[in-house]
Structures are given as structure tokens and as C-alpha cells.
Structure 1
Amino acid sequence: MAGHGTEQHPHGADRLCEAGDRVYSRAVRRGRVARTDAEPVPCLLELALLHPDPDDMDWLVPTSPQEVMTRLLRGLYDEVSASRRRMGSAVAAFEWYAGLGGPARGAAAGEGAAIRVLDGASRIQAALDAATEACTAEVLTVQPGGIRREHELSEGLHRALELRGRGVRMRDIYNHVARHGQGLLTYLELMGDAVEARTLDEVIDRLILFDRTVAFIPANTDRTMALELRHPALVSYLVTVFERLWRLAVPLTAPLPETRIEGISHREQSIAALLAEGHQDAVIAERLGISVRTCRAHIARLSETLGAASRTQLGVRIAQVGLDRPSGEADPPPVSLPAPGAGPDPVPSPAPAPGSGPVPGQGSPTAL
């Protein structure tokens, strides 16, 4: 009987046959169905959707839909887990086979290694360590974010010292705000003339280039994945990006350029330009490598200096004094600013934090 029913109704509990759907729906609505009504659809018993009523064996009661759903999901979870285990075994096996081949052979092998996805911190770190060991001449890095913590910089110090010992030169680009961190200054002092550092208001996302032959960039926002790039055209493009940023950047040993308006700091000028572009506080903070709280404190001081009582009025005043344009453009006619305390109340803002808050995930100059 059971075998015959299975042949008549080859399906699972997630996709009932038409007859089974009618009987099971009636059982759920009424609480039970007569056993004779379920005889044409033995699949309901085989799938444990119906079971005998202990008080009256001539009737069948339904298994609750919630219990059926839980059972199905548990089965799907087990299937997915098994598939992941098989996939992991396959990857491990073929990585071992790939290692038997030694260096890449021919154009096809080279193309396969041109872009490699590194999933997980351990794989990223292993690839960076291998590139560091193979590096012989130069490392170029772009390090976005805020002030570096000393312990984060020390994590990669051994690799940097190893590079210095082999005569490798390093050039690093940071956000301007990184100038205020003692950890970075200590790191540069230890490295001596092996490292040259410059800063910009805004930088691109993290980039590490070894010997202009291999590059590493993040592959997702939380930096748990990275791309290892060895395609000559891609690497050459990234080197060009770095060199152009380097020419625009200010050496760490040089002071930041003066702003066009007395009483407005370099950082406030950068914030003003981003406000004029319509960016929100969180976006501005991320691009400049500062905390949102610090960013809002600067906006409040900017509002007070320009005599603006609202964000709308602040935007107007920014345009009037020319802070909405790059510093290289011609300045507008001078505008008299209100004396301190003489203008309207500044835009309400939280109190400034004691220094720029560090951005999570900032590591050493040789860590993504």
C-alpha cells in the first residue's frame, strides 16, 4: 500500500498533490478527517502530515503546519550544511592538486591568477605575508581612516622592519587627521627614512601595492574579503592612481596649507566643501577619517564663524565666502565675517569628542 501510494504521489511535504492539498486543508480546518477520506491520498500518512487519532482509530488528525514547516526547514538546513561540507572538501582537494603544478604554466594559468578572491582574515593575511616576503623594491599604500592606535600599528611592524632590512622603500598616504596620532609618529620614527608619508583630506579605500606587480584592495565594506590583483593593466592603473594622489598630498613633515578665511581651520574648510556638495554628517566623517561627533562639532564652529543660524543658512554662507570651491579656484570678493559672539546662535550640535575617534578596522600600513 505504502509503495503504491508513493508511486501515485511522488512529491514532498512542501508541494502536495491536488488531492492531498484538499484533504490536508480540510483536516486543518476541522481538526480531523475520516480515515476513509484519506485512503485515496496515502502520501499524507507517508509524509506524516496525518496520523491516527488515539481516541478513535477511524479518524486521522493533522500535524500542525508549524511543526511541518520546522521539520522541512531542519531538513533543508541539513542539506545545505552537507553541501557546504562537500564544497569545502572539494576546494581543499583541488587546492592540493593545484599545488602539485608549481608555477603557473602558459597564458591560461596566468589569466586564472590575475584576480584572486581572498575570503577571511587568515587568507588575506597569508597572501599579504607571501607578497611581503617576495617584495624586493617598493611598497605603496593608501590608508584611509582616522588616528591609528599604537597597538594596531605594532601588529604589522615586524613585516615593515623586515622590508626595511631588505632595502625596500615604502610610501604611505593617510588622511590629514592621522597626523594627530602618536602611534603613527612612533611608527615612522622607528622606520626612519625607509618610509615616506603624506596626507590628504580625502583618500580612496585601502590599497597596497608590492613592487608594482601585485595589488590588494578590499572586496566588501567590512574588509572580511579582499582581491589580490596581478593583472598588469589593473596594477598599472592603480599605480597611476596612487602617484596622482601622492602628488596632491602634503608631506607629513610639512604644515597643512593655510585656509582662505581667518578663523576657519583646514578641516573645517574641507567639511564646508563637502557640505556644499550635499553630503550628510556620517558621509563627511567617513571621508575625512573622523568621528561623526567630531564632524558635528566642527560644523557647529563653522556655523558660528560664518554667522549661520541653520544648516540652510550655513550652505548660503559657505557659497558666499567661496568655501564651496576647490582652493585652486579664484577667490570671491572678501566678505566681512561677524565678530566672535556677535552673530546668531550656532547650529545645535553635540559637544566635541576629545580628539578624532579612531575608525574601526584600521591596521598597520601593510594590513587590509
Structure 2
Amino acid sequence: MANRHKPTHPHAVTELCEEGGRLYANALRTGRIAREEVESAPCLMEFALLHPDPDDASWLRPVSPTVALAQRLNPIEREITAHRRLSIELTDVFEPFMALSAQTTAPTHAITVLEGGDRINAALNLATAQCQTEVLTIQPSNRISERNLTHGLERDRPLTERGVKIRTLYQHTARYSQEKLAYVAQLSNGKVEYRTIDELVERLIICDETVAFIPTRDDQQVALELRHPGLVRYLIKVFEFIWGRAIPLSAGAPYETAPDGITNIQHSIAKLLVEGHVDEAIARRLGMNVRTCRAHIAKLATALGSGSRAQLGYLIAESGILKQDAAQ
């Protein structure tokens, strides 16, 4: 009985107990909550999610979720910044020795830096000309990749003509790109497979199990040619992991409305919003322009009854739609 008013249930703020979550939500909805009501969840005061009402000590007022989140993220971000600074300092220390090692060790050409579009295309042309079995590609949508479709067609058609298989991953938005669909139509000869997924991180090209190409800048003017067997095998595993979760381009549209009234693309946007990404980053990761992304965010807000961007993240978490995605 002595502990009735001070129950102990220690847990991290990332594992807010069910009672604490319920009471905090009630406090946010009503603007305040009686002090006696939160005795069953002392974690709310321990985590500074509630503070005394200045007008009446018997009541508590909720701290905005945005403010509470910022208070916890700031020290994490400071720590990340410190680690980045340390990594730069370490790189500066070891860079002279790496240069010395490069001069005294026989070159293996395991990693080659390619600068400029001409040099990158020349290396790609050589690698595809030597390819005998299969080419794996990840092609996120952006203006640069759209302009490069003609170069890709000139490179890919000879591959398929000599029996090399090609597997390509696009974002779902490629299904609505006339340029991409026209490109696919010209290579649909049974040797080429296309699949789409909601988001892709970066471009990747792998020829056989021998060489891989990845960009190092957003403008795709600097790339790495990787011929280290371990790195190439790792990138193939990454590709196969994504491929297994992607949808064949020939399948139905993946943006159909789910039973909760929210489309699949809006589910993807909701996940990225909760993770803290801004509109521009979400649009880039999902392969759409910012205006389209914001239109989807507006529809998502309407579906969840959100009156503000700050409230939208909270309503996404409360709605449980992200848990539905995880279950699927």
C-alpha cells in the first residue's frame, strides 16, 4: 500500500508505457490533466512530458510533442556532429600514409575514381561490352537519369541481343513516366526484367559479378568503379534484397487505396515524415517532384484530420498505419 501513489515501472522514453501514452494523449487533446490522474504513470513527469499548471497546482499541462522530441534529439545530433568531426580529423591524420602506401604498393585497381560524364560512360561501355551473363541496375528517378535514357538504350540493346540478362529496379513513380515506359517497351524481349519499389537510395550498376559502379555526387559527375570481389558480392546481396521486395512492372499499380483510405505511396510518405525527413528529401527518395509530394502530404493530412504539419506526425503515430505496414 505504501507504494500505491508512486508505482515504479522504469522504462526508456522510446518505450513509453501504455498508461503513460494514454494519459499523455488525453492531456494533449484537452490541454491539461489532473495531477492525481498521472500518479499511475510517473514516467510522464520523469520524462518532462508534463509540467505544472502555473495557474493551478492541482493540474498539469502537456509539453508539445515537437518540443519534447527536439529536447531529446538535440544531444543526439550534437553527438553525431562530434563523431563526424572526429572522423574528419582521423582522415586528415591517415591521408598522408594512405598516399604513401599507394605509391609503394602495386596497384590493384580495386577502386577507381571516375570524374566526368565522358569517362564514366566510357568505363560503363567497356564493362557492358565485356559482360557475359547479367547486368543488375538500380535506377532512382531524377532529371539526370531521365536525360540518360538514350545512352542507356544504346548500351543495353547490344547486351540483350547477345543474350545477356538485365534486371532493373525503379521507383513506383516510373510506372507513370512516359519516357521510362517507352524505354522499357523497346527492351521487352524476355531478357529484361523490371520491378519497382516505393523508395531507392542511389544508383547502382553491376556487370556479372565482376565490376560495380556507384555515384559519389548527386550530379553523377563522379563515380566509383569497384572491382573488389568482396565489395561487388556485397552490392549484389543488397540488390537481391531489394529485388525480392519489389513489384514486377507488369503487375497492378501499387498506389491503390488501402482499406483505411490511404494509398500505399501515402503510407511510404507517412513513414518518412515520422522519421523526420523534409518534403524535398521525401520527394527525392520516392522519385517524385516536391509539388506532387506535398499534394500527397495534404491528402494524408485530410485523411487523418490533421490541422497542422506538427500535428500530422502525432496523428500518424496514433493512427497505427505504420504498424499495419510493419505487419504486412
1:65 is matched with none
Q: Secondary structure of 2:220's match?
A: coil
Amino acid of the residue matched to residue 306 of structure 2?
A
Q: Secondary structure of 2:196's match?
A: strand
Normalised to the residue count of structure 1, the TM-score between the two structures is 0.57
1:248 to 1:321, Cα distance in 2 relative to 1, 3 A: same
1:134 is matched with 130
Deviation at 1:221, TM superposition (A): 2.6
The CA distance in 2 between the partners of 1:118 and 1:152, in whole Å, is 17
Q: Which has the higher helix share?
A: 2
1:114 counterpart = 2:110: yes
The CA distance in 1 between the partners of 2:198 and 2:111, in whole Å, is 30
Give the 5 Å matches for 1:76-225: 112-146=108-142, 152-192=148-188, 193-225=190-222
**Maintained 8 Å contact 1:273/1:323:** no
Q: Which has the higher contact order (CA 8 A, sep 6+)?
A: 1
Deviation at 1:146, TM superposition (A): 4.7
The CA distance in 1 between the partners of 2:274 and 2:322, in whole Å, is 5
2:81 is matched with none
Amino acid of the residue matched to residue 157 of structure 2?
L
The CA distance in 1 between the partners of 2:285 and 2:260, in whole Å, is 24
1:286 is matched with 284
The CA distance in 1 between the partners of 2:114 and 2:142, in whole Å, is 25
Q: Deviations over 1:285-336 (max 9, x none)?
A: 1111111111111111111111110112211221122233461327xxxxxx
2:224 is matched with 227
Listed as ranges, the gaps of 5+ residues in structure 1 are 1-107, 331-368
Deviation at 1:143, TM superposition (A): 0.6
1:302 to 1:262, Cα distance in 2 relative to 1, 3 A: same
1:273 to 1:150, Cα distance in 2 relative to 1, 3 A: closer
Listed as ranges, the gaps of 5+ residues in structure 2 are 1-104
1:245 to 1:155, Cα distance in 2 relative to 1, 3 A: same
**Aligned-residue identity in percent:** 50
Deviation at 1:244, TM superposition (A): 0.4
Question: Cα RMSD over matched residues?
Answer: 2.1
Q: Deviations over 1:81-108 (max 9, x none)?
A: xxxxxxxxxxxxxxxxxxxxxxxxxxx6
Amino acid of the residue matched to residue 213 of structure 1?
T
Larger Rg: 1
**Maintained 8 Å contact 1:147/1:178:** no
Normalised to the residue count of structure 2, the TM-score between the two structures is 0.63
